[in-house]
Chain A
């Protein structure tokens, strides 16, 4: 069982926080901060889990998620979606696009860690 996570998020402070939490738990963390080539990075690194922000410069998280679900190889990849827009509508869109888990910011560190462990163990 792998322990690699790819964080796709554009706020540097949030990247730093998530990286800190996950690496303390023994995960190897890679980060990426824009939407354009996010899917390419996913295919290149083939992580065990992707943490995906919705509001990304260049391309929304939903679109990237659809790309992941649409491609061979990454179809079953667990994806944890994060969003700062806490509306019901956003959760629905995320589930329809195929998110494994959906979380609203701000989150508690423990919550994120549990979700990651669960999804990878899956």
Chain B
């Protein structure tokens, strides 16, 4: 009993150690020091829950019975992980972007968030996993048994049961403590993962130690082992090809579909990049795990008495050799395998059970529905804890009821085949957009019915659940429906037969039902999301949900209407609402406008739904809408390409029309120009003629009157001359006949000169000039006379039109890498918006004050600046009238 007590003590210490590891990992993660927790190797090790007690103990037994067949169980996952780029990467990406919580969630989410599917998958997963959990409990108790037997103490059946109960309770407690600390699917269970990683090392180390002991301790090294292998019962290749291929396929499929594998692989994945490391490290792990299986089996077969259970060779070989320490280590390895599997399976199943079964039921009993506040979190956690207890207890119950018989041993592969039924629906969901909910339901149902009929029921033994006559004659005597020989095809291995037909018919019915049916809009949304997950999420960052609704609407609208149109719409609406910036409040008015605009692109119903989803309580997430928006954009692009051809013809017609319009316009412009020139010439001539006739015809004029009238004639004559000069100047500039006289000079001097000419002889208005001469020290290389002409004009305008009491003109000079900017800003009342549009037109004059000048000044300025490769524009919003002259920098060289 003493040694047994030591074993119990070691176990307890080991469990305490696991608790400590998990606790420390959680603490580190909370304190943000969990950098080492995000190690890809930890991720790789956590994947090793694939190796359960069934593989730890069972592999040797398997090898002892069936030779190398056990390898298929490891080769399948190896191929899947090595091919991570195909499937795993996509699964992980989808899991992260869609906030998937389990494989049931993934499948239901993909097929239109169908809860029927989720419930179905959950139940099937529980059915498939419960025997497996029972198997783990059994392995722990039996291995304990093996120890006690070796000390001559045979445990009673009730002793075994109580052992199993204790183990089950401990595992449930561990899972509850570390598995349900928080709710968020994006929060990883650092404690659980860390504990699993530690257990992974323990079991690997234990198996290696036993292996090394067997090869170099019991046998005489490698050569001896080879000889022993070839001499043993399993010494020759006896693998049937169909079984080999089928089992590799089956284990690969199960690796993807097992709820616990999905949990560690997808849900607990920290970074997509970890897959890269796992892609080679996990196959390495599996390889090392299976390396010594055959030697142990062969040595066990050779040294132990006939009839001893090969499933526990890992324990019994060291015990028989008297190496108790090694046996204890081996026991811990098996214990680790069993516990880690149960913990993760319970965690994964409880998530599914609570999310898809318990919560919907609870919510439906609550009158408030899902909108009830805060306490839901608490309920979810409670549901999850109860589910964990329930799942583990179910496993225990199965263990008790099945009597721990040998039928458990074969349950591993049957369980694999069960969950493998998820594979067509899973892969179809992530690679084929046409897959529908109906197809998934039909496929899963067909697959599971066939699996149960051909594999599960016969496994309980003939005559228990399925009668012998059915097995031999088929149901109702229909020979073609015999569970182990469909359509009369006999001679197939039962397992291969079951897997072949169930997966085949599953896939075919899934495919056909998908093709016949029609996906709902939500399914189509989710389908696009899943299949095109890489396009839809360049960063695996999911929507944070705290952005303003307007912004969401903006993003969506941009995807549908195009960025410019959407921004224009939003800006207009914001302005209408009097909101500064580009985002309007999501007022009912604005939403109506937006809906109408969107309806133009995607149709009214969709537009309504989309806005409803963003603004109202959404059951479809914003990302989904983005996906539709993307699709719509693509479709619109496609149809626009179809229209391109007819559009081209329309374009030609439009060009012709434009050319015609332009000719008409030019002709009209010429008429109006002539009419304006006529007006501008006739007005001064009227004065000249009238006063010259007065001077000629009246002899009673006073001397003062004569002087006054002759000076009017004189002034008007000068005005005529200037007008003619301007007209000629403009004509020359417009025809491009002007030759520029390039000189080099300093801006300050040009301005000095312009100010001097503009302000001389005009004493009645004193215009105050504000300049910053330091900034004007810019060397120019351009036609300085022309530039000066522009400046004179602008300064003259300020002088003439500035209506401030103390008129002032500020000249601002600024330069950047490309251009020199000179602003002329006065302090008057500025120019009205309507006039701003026309001041650069010929003969336009603003205001009611008639001041001398033909209205050609700014038109000439504009022409000059165009010739100098620059611009002159009205600068709105400066208080007074403001003009901006821009010169390209190559003409304005750097200051010395």
- State which of A18-26, A38-46, A66-74 sits at the interface with chain B: A18-26
Q: B725 → chain A, closest Cβ, in Å?
A: 20
Q: Check if B679 is an interface residue, CB within 8 A of chain A.
A: yes
Check if A11 sits within 8 Å of B687, measured CB to CB.
yes
Q: Which residues of A lie under 8 Å from residue B512 when comparing CB positions?
A: none
When the two chains form the complex, which single residue of B682, B691, B693 contacts A105, counting CB atoms closer than 8 Å?
A: B682
Check if A108 sits within 8 Å of B693, measured CB to CB.
yes
CB-nearest residue of chain B to A82: B686
Complex Cα spacing A99 to B687, Å: 23
A36-78 contact mask (Cβ, 8 Å, vs B): 1 or 0: 0000000000000000000101100000000000000000000
Given contacts A84-B679, A87-B675, contact A109 B848 (CB under 8 A): no
Check if A20 sits within 8 Å of B686, measured CB to CB.
no
Check if A57 sits within 8 Å of B690, measured CB to CB.
no
Check if A21 sits within 8 Å of B690, measured CB to CB.
yes
B677-701 CB contacts (< 8 Å) to partner A? 678-680, 682-683, 685-691, 693-694, 697-698
Q: Which residues of B lie under 8 Å from residue A85 when comparing CB positions?
A: 675, 678-679, 682
Q: A91 → chain B, closest Cβ, in Å?
A: 13
Q: Which residues of B lie under 8 Å from residue A104 when comparing CB positions?
A: 682
Q: B717 → chain A, closest Cβ, in Å?
A: 12
Q: Check if B552 is an interface residue, CB within 8 A of chain A.
A: no
CB-nearest residue of chain B to A86: B678
Complex Cα spacing A51 to B842, Å: 28
Given contacts A85-B678, A87-B675, contact A107 B850 (CB under 8 A): no
Q: Check if A17 is an interface residue, CB within 8 A of chain B.
A: yes
Q: Which residues of A lie under 8 Å from residue B694 when comparing CB positions?
A: 17, 20-21, 109
Check if B850 sits within 8 Å of A57, measured CB to CB.
yes
B765-800 CB contacts (< 8 Å) to partner A? none
Q: B698 → chain A, closest Cβ, in Å?
A: 7
Check if A109 sits within 8 Å of B687, measured CB to CB.
no
Check if A14 sits within 8 Å of B690, measured CB to CB.
yes
Q: A107 → chain B, closest Cβ, in Å?
A: 7
Check if B848 sits within 8 Å of A57, measured CB to CB.
yes
Q: A55 → chain B, closest Cβ, in Å?
A: 6
A72-122 CB contacts (< 8 Å) to partner B? 84-87, 104-110
Check if B850 sits within 8 Å of A106, measured CB to CB.
no
Q: B855 → chain A, closest Cβ, in Å?
A: 12
Given contacts A10-B850, A109-B693, contact A84 B698 (CB under 8 A): no
Given contacts A11-B683, A58-B848, contact A17 B675 (CB under 8 A): no
CB-nearest residue of chain A to B712: A13
Q: Check if B803 is an interface residue, CB within 8 A of chain A.
A: no
Q: Check if B716 is an interface residue, CB within 8 A of chain A.
A: yes
Q: Which residues of B lie under 8 Å from residue A10 when comparing CB positions?
A: 850
Check if A14 sits within 8 Å of B698, measured CB to CB.
no
Q: Which residues of A lie under 8 Å from residue B847 when comparing CB positions?
A: 57
Q: Which residues of B lie under 8 Å from residue A13 when comparing CB positions?
A: 687, 691, 712, 716
Complex Cα spacing A104 to B848, Å: 23
Check if B678 sits within 8 Å of A11, measured CB to CB.
no
Complex Cα spacing A12 to B680, Å: 15
Complex Cα spacing A55 to B850, Å: 12
Complex Cα spacing A85 to B678, Å: 6
Q: Which residues of B lie under 8 Å from residue A58 when comparing CB positions?
A: 848
Complex Cα spacing A104 to B683, Å: 10
Check if A107 sits within 8 Å of B679, measured CB to CB.
no
Report whether over half of chain B's contact residues are helix, strand or loop; otherwise say mixed: helix
Q: Check if A4 is an interface residue, CB within 8 A of chain B.
A: no
Most B CB within 10 A of own CB, among A12, A13, A24, A87 = A13
Q: Which residues of B lie under 8 Å from residue A18 when comparing CB positions?
A: 690
B229-286 CB contacts (< 8 Å) to partner A? none
Complex Cα spacing A18 to B691, Å: 9
Q: Which residues of B lie under 8 Å from residue A16 when comparing CB positions?
A: 712
Q: Which residues of B lie under 8 Å from residue A107 when comparing CB positions?
A: 686, 689-690
Complex Cα spacing A49 to B690, Å: 20
Q: B52 → chain A, closest Cβ, in Å?
A: 96
Complex Cα spacing A101 to B698, Å: 26
Q: A96 → chain B, closest Cβ, in Å?
A: 18
Check if B687 sits within 8 Å of A14, measured CB to CB.
yes
Check if B678 sits within 8 Å of A106, measured CB to CB.
no
Q: B709 → chain A, closest Cβ, in Å?
A: 8
CB-nearest residue of chain B to A109: B693
CB-nearest residue of chain A to B716: A13
Q: Which residues of A lie under 8 Å from residue B682 when comparing CB positions?
A: 84-86, 104-106
Check if A106 sits within 8 Å of B690, measured CB to CB.
yes
CB-nearest residue of chain A to B846: A57
Complex Cα spacing A106 to B686, Å: 4
Complex Cα spacing A114 to B680, Å: 26
B857-874 CB contacts (< 8 Å) to partner A? none
Most B CB within 10 A of own CB, among A16, A55, A58, A104 = A16
B829-864 contact mask (Cβ, 8 Å, vs A): 1 or 0: 000000000000000000110100000000000000
Complex Cα spacing A110 to B697, Å: 10
Q: Which residues of B lie under 8 Å from residue A20 when comparing CB positions?
A: 694
Complex Cα spacing A24 to B685, Å: 22
Given contacts A13-B716, A21-B694, contact A106 B848 (CB under 8 A): no
Q: B652 → chain A, closest Cβ, in Å?
A: 36
Q: Which residues of A lie under 8 Å from residue B686 when comparing CB positions?
A: 11, 14, 17, 84, 105-107
Q: B786 → chain A, closest Cβ, in Å?
A: 31
Q: B815 → chain A, closest Cβ, in Å?
A: 40
Complex Cα spacing A10 to B698, Å: 25
Check if A109 sits within 8 Å of B690, measured CB to CB.
yes
Check if A106 sits within 8 Å of B679, measured CB to CB.
no
Q: Which residues of B lie under 8 Å from residue A108 when comparing CB positions?
A: 689, 693
Q: A36 → chain B, closest Cβ, in Å?
A: 8
When the two chains form the complex, which single residue of A57, A84, A86, A109 contacts B697, counting CB atoms closer than 8 Å?
A: A109
Check if A105 sits within 8 Å of B850, measured CB to CB.
no
CB-nearest residue of chain B to A58: B848
Q: B848 → chain A, closest Cβ, in Å?
A: 4
Q: Which residues of A lie under 8 Å from residue B691 when comparing CB positions?
A: 13, 17
Closest A-B pairs by Cβ, 3 of them = A17-B690, A84-B682, A13-B687
A-B contact pairs, 30 of them (CB 8 A): A11-B683, A12-B850, A13-B687, A13-B712, A14-B683, A14-B687, A16-B712, A17-B686, A17-B691, A18-B690, A20-B694, A55-B679, A58-B848, A84-B678, A85-B675, A85-B678, A85-B682, A86-B678, A86-B682, A87-B675, A87-B678, A104-B682, A105-B685, A106-B682, A106-B689, A106-B690, A107-B690, A108-B689, A109-B693, A109-B694
Given contacts A18-B690, A106-B690, could you give 12 more A-B pairs where the C-beta distance is less than 8 Å? A11-B850, A12-B850, A14-B683, A21-B690, A57-B848, A57-B850, A84-B678, A85-B675, A87-B678, A107-B690, A108-B689, A109-B690
Residues of chain B touching chain A, judged by Cβ–Cβ distance below 8 Å, are: 675, 678-680, 682-683, 685-691, 693-694, 697-698, 712, 716, 847-848, 850
